[in-house]
Amino acid sequence: MDNPVLDAIKKRRTTLRFESTDLEQSMIQDVLEAGRWAPSWLNKQPWSFTVIKDPKTKEQLSEVVPTAFVQGLKEAPVCIAITVNTEEDPYHFAEAGATATQNMALAAHSLGLQTAWIGVLDLKDQKNSAETKVKKILEIPKKHHVIALLPIGHAKFDVLKKERKELRQIVYEERFGKRAST
């Protein structure tokens, strides 16, 4: 395959451990720019991106995320919190934030960087959820939801290749359950 977009999609992987090597500001800007160009309902662009470099803040965040991501969040030189304003887009804010996150993860991969998508969205607004704790740490307003934290950096270890289901296992024709000829 000689398509850079499809190639990036197929090769991007989640990294759980990062080198602490600083990133060039231009690389961070390119990743943020990719998020800015994500599609959104009626072009509402309800997202905001908070760039986190402070080790103390990353340490605090690592204490509230799922355990698999704790060490990587502390190690990554940069973490971006992707938030969405639910008043700007009350209907599709989750999709908008997810597409912005995916754009940034793919952009990072295209720049030779790795990411880990740490989903923290809690639609029930539970008092002790990871999202509630992240919002408190980052002083995010109530009308915003945190879709994800995205640590970014160079992988400390080689990223394992993962297998994917065959298209014939997941594609239907015309109606759900009717197997495609693909």
- In the predicted model, residues of the chain with pLDDT beneath 70 are 1, 182
Would you identify the CATH topology of the domain 4-170? NADH Oxidase (3.40.109)
pLDDT of residue 175: 86
Q: What are the domain boundaries of the chain?
A: 4-170
pLDDT of residue 162: 76
pTM of the model: 0.91
Q: How far apart are CA 134 and CA 69, in angstroms?
A: 14
pLDDT of residue 50: 98
pLDDT of residue 182: 55
pLDDT of residue 159: 73
